[in-house]
Amino acid sequence: MIKRFFKDGLIYSIPSFVSRGISVLLIPLYTRVLSPADYGAWDMLLVFMNLVRLTVALEISQAVARFYSHEKGEKNKSVCASTALWFTIAANGLFFVIAQLFAVPISGILLGSDDLTPIFRLGLVLGLFNGVFYLVQNQFRWELKSKGYALVSLIVSFVTAGLSVVLAYVFKFGLYGILVGSIAGSLTGAIYGLIVLRKTFRFRFSFNKLKPMLQFSVPLVFSGIAVFISLYIDRIMIRHFLTLDALGLYSLAFRFASVISLLMVGFNSALTPLIYRHYEESATPGNLSAIFRYFIFFALLAYAGMSMYAKEILVVFTTPEYYPAAGIIVFLVPAIILSNMYVFAPGINIRKKTSYILFINIVGAVLQFFFNYLLIPKFGYIGAAAATCLGNLCIFSMYIVISQRLYHVPHNWGRLASGIVVIVVLIGLSSQLELAPLIEVFVKLGLLCIAAAVLMLLGFVRIDEIGRMKNLLLKRSGI
């Protein structure tokens, strides 16, 4: 299981590294063709599109993840996946028509101006194609076709980035150009995926298959709404209490902090299907514990690096009006890490207790609302970042407590706490440096090396494990 995890995890990470890398490289473009207010409007539109993706198709893709591998025979598997596809197309198509009819009032509420209605209408096209692409892309994961997943993801990234640069920067279409580039990328990815998976997706539909899948996934919709609130209440409340300019600064910091999700994608994409396939084996809890240790090691180092070099990163990639965003990256990086760590609490899904997920996410949404409502008026967008981090910590803690009762994994929580303390202390030390820029860069690099050494001494990654991983990689590469 661990060998397959590292193999698939590496493959799943490649398109994400490319996509996030392109995204970061495009930030200098975005910050030159979009004002902070435009950036805030773009972010609010993406928030709305994510809500659509989570709710309109009733999270049926998650049901495919649970049911597809247990179907007997290729025909039954095809019926399962095809039913989900046609349901997704129908649901997203119906929503698209209704939302277009009410585009003016919705865009006024969402973006704060009727003048942005054309932008909103174009965003609805993106939401339509994104919904279909999301299901098709995930199907590669459920079939354990990590290379296919990587390829379709890379195609979408390059098409989106290429057209966005040409339309937004060369032809000066600004936000319209970025939207059209995103639409073209999602459409291309959906078409390519449907062609490659043509033996899976057929003109087949079964209400008998649809019913149990929806029984599994519908509770996840309400959970998804709660997750949405947890993830995006910060942006919504910044928009309410502050301005689009403040939202633009926060959104830019969030985009930089989201680079940490590169670490998450390989783990999440590879681990979920492997857990479903191997959870009954006696060695699986121990394997999950080891994978969790590896993850925490890399996550803490990435957190330290991004927090220490936040100021330098923004100076290199943005314009002066965006520099104030550096101060909140230290809160947003752990917030993003925590929001994706539910994969290490698999007991709820293994035991099919999805009602617990609903409970956790509703409580989490309430906490996120409370923390943001309390902190944003007092501390501005810094308060939003701190509130998001605190809320995500509470949510992950609930996942772990419940999951451990349903499917125990032998984690060492004392080691985890020690590692966090070490990293926080080193980040605090780096924030007090007042040296010449070049010297400061090297001193921070030294602090990162100290962090890695201490984490290894604490046992997050052992020397013998490094040797085995090295031999495995050399064997895979044929060296």
| pLDDT single digits (tens) 278-293 | 777 888 888 888 888 8
Closest by Cα among 381, 275, 264 to 326: 381
Helix H, strand E, coil C: the string for 402-470 is HHHHHCCCCCCHHHHHHHHHHHHHHHHHHHCCCCCHHHHHHHHHHHHHHHHHHHHHCCCCCHHHHHHHH
Cβ(250)–Cβ(384) below 8 Å:
yes
Number of domains composing the chain: 1
pLDDT over threshold 60, residue 338 = yes
| pLDDT single digits (tens) 70-113 | 888 899 999 999 999 999 999 999 999 999 999 999 988 888 77
pLDDT over threshold 90, residue 239 = no
In a domain, 434, yes or no: no
By residue range, what is the domain housing residue 91?
A: 2-411
Q: How confident is the model at residue 28 (pLDDT cuts 50, 70, 90)?
A: confident
Which whole-number Å values give the CA distances from 393 to 38, 337, 342, in the listed order?
Answer: 31, 10, 11
Cβ(126)–Cβ(53) below 8 Å:
no
| pLDDT single digits (tens) 214-226 | 998 988 888 778 7
In a domain, 418, yes or no: no
- Cα 108 from Cα 125, distance rounded (Å): 18
In a domain, 437, yes or no: no
Range 130-149 average pLDDT: 90
What tokens were used for 52? 């659509």
- Cα 313 from Cα 331, distance rounded (Å): 16
| pLDDT single digits (tens) 403-459 | 999 988 888 999 999 999 999 999 999 989 888 888 999 999 999 999 999 999 998
In a domain, 215, yes or no: yes
State the pLDDT at residue 477.
Answer: 43
Mean pLDDT of the chain: 86
In a domain, 161, yes or no: yes
State the pLDDT at residue 137.
Answer: 93
In a domain, 321, yes or no: yes
Block residue for tokens 């692409």: 133
Burial class (CB in 10 A: 0-12, 13-18, 19+), 428: exposed
In a domain, 152, yes or no: yes
In a domain, 198, yes or no: yes
